[in-house]
Structure 1
Amino acid sequence: MKEKITILVIFFLFFPMLLHADEKLGLSKGQTVYVPAYSHIYSGNSERPFLLAVTLSIRNIDPKHQIQITSVDYYATQGKHLKHFLNEPRILKPLGSLRYIIPEKDKSGGSGANFIVEWKSGKSVNSPIVECIMIGTQTQQGVSFTSRGRVIVTSDD
């Protein structure tokens, strides 16, 4: 009886993985990714700004194929374009990463800042991980957190 229960447990644990094993999840030839960023957050009843350094991280998680980063732009809370990071596309090799930094003292983005990242590839590849890491310290308090990008346009032509 124990053997049958063990087999059933194993089956129910691993069966969902078998159903999706042949799916090509996350493959794309290009995307536009929206990434939330926070150049500051608010603390206390008086809503004092707590300044944060922002690091945008773009990680090519495809182990075999490079991708091309075609655009990285930074926007303020109200949607105003603040900074264009690329003058020409950048190649991101397999398993490589890029970073772009907004210093802690730069509060121009505000609490609703964001990045728009565009990338493309000549073939279907694993979509990169695009995220922001925010960190700040004031007196004896430290804050750090991340936000993950969200695909807003897919270009699989």
Structure 2
Amino acid sequence: MSFLNRLLSLVAAGIFCLTLSAVPGWSAEPQRTRGQTVYVPAYSHVFTGPRANPYNLAISLTVRNTDPSAGMTVTAIDYHDHNGRLIRRYAPSPLSLAPLASSYVHLEEKDTSGGFAPKFIVRWEASRPISAPLIEAVMIGATSGQGISFVSRGQVLQER
């Protein structure tokens, strides 16, 4: 490979790395924060067939502390219906999660109180900046030998 080709390859690699660093949410360093408010979309059912029959789904919301050396506190897990109305609060008191610990909330398939597009609003905090937790909703349904499952990841609405 000639000197000019090597130089062009290095320049192209540098431009690629600079381009990636400008992408929102992408960073070589993990995001560290002292707290967030996170929106997590969920589905209590999906519609199937030509008559749009509802297919009920169980929902499991998981909160995973991804930091290996620091704990965090979940201060709120609020469940809202498809119109945005608060249905119930799942964390009436703060919930401490040790490093790498997880917690969950489970709604049964028969719970359709949230309508077709419920959501969770999760608030958490830490005493010092930590790696942001992974907050997801897992939807699962199984009827008559047929099954469906998928995951919906939370989106940060606000940093503390």
Q: Which residue of 1 aligns with 2:72?
A: 67
Q: Could you say what the CA RMSD is over the residues aligned between the two structures, in angstroms? A: 2.7
Q: Give how far 1:24 is off.
A: 4.0
User: Please, what TM-score do these two structures have when normalized by structure 1?
Assistant: 0.85
Q: Give how far 1:110 is off.
A: 1.9
| CA displacement 1:28-67 (0-9 Å, x = unmatched) | 1000000001011111111100000000000000011000
Structure 2 counterpart of 1:123, from 101, 121, 128: 128
Query: How many residue pairs are counted as aligned between the two chains?
Result: 152
Aligned ranges for residues 4-19 of structure 1 at < 5 Å? Answer: 12=13, 16=17
What residue ranges of structure 1 are gaps of 5+ in the alignment?
A: none
User: Please, what TM-score do these two structures have when normalized by structure 2?
Assistant: 0.84
2:36 is the counterpart of 1:31: yes
2:111 alignment partner, SS class: coil
Q: Which residue of 1 aligns with 2:97?
A: 92
Runs of 4+ off more than 4 Å: none
Structure 2 counterpart of 1:154, from 136, 148, 159: 159
The one-letter code matched in structure 1 to 2:94 is P
What residue ranges of structure 2 are gaps of 5+ in the alignment?
A: 22-26
Q: Give how far 1:12 is off.
A: 4.3
**Seq. identity, %:** 37
